[in-house]
Amino acid sequence: MSEEALPPELLAAIKQFVHWSTQQLEAEQAATRITTPLYHYTNATGLRGIIESQKFWFTSYRHLNDPSELTHGMDIAHRLLVAIAEQYRDGLVKIFCEMVDDLFKHGNFADVFGFYIASLSRAGNDLGQWRAYADNGRGFALGLAPHLFEMVEDSSPAPTEHIILPVVYGKEADARYCTAIEAAAAVVQGCRPHLKDQRIGIPFMRELANQLIAGQLIGISLGVKHEAYRHEQEVWLVILGTQNAQRNDVKTRVRGAEIVPYMESPLPLRDKDGITDIVIGPAAPSSTKDAVHSLLRSFGVDPNGRIRESGIPYRAL
């Protein structure tokens, strides 16, 4: 049975859940609105390239530094689906949670959707990130003004959507998962009188499960990382959409022995004081400050008050 063939009462229930899900996402976006500068750690080539092109590279999530991107959050969701099914002690809810658990597998959507991520940080002087992402302390942390991210949120160019996703660590995402799963479970319970016929009940629960996964679980899982990365205080800019729609916009670059897919997106950081500051890495040569001063001037950006040094005692080996 297709979704269109479901009884009106069940179609209305699905639409009500989708409306709730949309409002939930909008509330989370409002609550995490960017109000302070975000920093992008990079080397000298990256710094110059970003300022010159006024574009950010968004890397395929499969090629980020954490090999468990997305799947770490999915593991949490699977654990909570089992726990919620046991908690409700309701046969219908148990069937629904098992259905979601079966559908919410990486292989079921990894070949359909494309997720491309640009990583930023609320921390502008973090030793771990200097080492990992900024040429072992010889690079830079580029500070970006909050108003730039309002422009990203509003752009949403076809065929992709841009979202801003503050990363959470460890078990911080449990509450969001539980809220979403329990909201869907409540819909199942409320529709119990209409679900006695399996020819209607199973297609309804499958469609509700798809809406839960697409509208909530994938997005939550994208923004969950292992506790070990907490010091990075990450905020992600994410381009998401179907791979078919994104195909013409995907480029590749070489990183070591790896071919890395990425997408570009404009970010007019040279306009309207988009660059708040540039932090020079703790292992950079003493001449670097003068060089950055010249770099900014060459692109029409006033360097005064925008350049500072890390100050962390660190020697790159």
d(CA 23, CA 269): 30
Phi then psi for 61, rounded to 5 degrees?
Answer: -60, -20
Whether the predicted pLDDT of 151 surpasses 60: no
Asked if the structure places residue 207 within a domain, the reply is yes
Asked if the structure places residue 226 within a domain, the reply is yes
Q: What letter would DSSP give residue 250? A: -
d(CA 87, CA 85): 5
pLDDT at 152: 54
d(CA 280, CA 4): 58
Whether the predicted pLDDT of 160 surpasses 70: no
Confidence of residue 296 (pLDDT cuts 50, 70, 90): very high
d(CA 242, CA 164): 18
The residues, ordered by sequence, that sit 6+ positions from 159 with a Cβ below 8 Å of its Cβ are 241, 242, 245, 246, 249
251-279 pLDDT tens trace: 999 988 889 999 999 989 998 789 999 99
The residues, ordered by sequence, that sit 6+ positions from 134 with a Cβ below 8 Å of its Cβ are 41, 42, 43, 140, 141, 281
Asked if the structure places residue 223 within a domain, the reply is yes
d(CA 245, CA 234): 28
Residue-number span of the structural domain to which 45 is assigned: 3-309
Total domains present in the chain: 1
Neighbours of 198 (CB within 10 A): 10
Confidence of residue 299 (pLDDT cuts 50, 70, 90): very high
Asked if the structure places residue 20 within a domain, the reply is yes
d(CA 293, CA 290): 5
Asked if the structure places residue 314 within a domain, the reply is no
Asked if the structure places residue 316 within a domain, the reply is no
Whether the predicted pLDDT of 147 surpasses 60: yes
pLDDT at 4: 52
> Reduced to 3 states, what is the DSSP secondary structure of residue 299?
coil
d(CA 241, CA 222): 13
Asked if the structure places residue 315 within a domain, the reply is no
Asked if the structure places residue 277 within a domain, the reply is yes
Average pLDDT, the chain: 90
d(CA 269, CA 139): 19
Q: Which of 109-118, 201-210, 231-240, 254-263 has the lowest mean pLDDT?
A: 109-118
Average pLDDT over residues 282-288: 96
Average pLDDT over residues 191-211: 92
Average pLDDT over residues 174-182: 95
Give residue for tokens 């890397």.
59
Average pLDDT over residues 284-307: 96
24-47 pLDDT tens trace: 988 888 888 899 999 999 999 999
Average pLDDT over residues 299-312: 96
Whether the predicted pLDDT of 1 surpasses 50: no
> Reduced to 3 states, what is the DSSP secondary structure of residue 266?
strand
d(CA 187, CA 196): 15
Give residue for tokens 């750690």.
41
- pTM of the full structure: 0.86
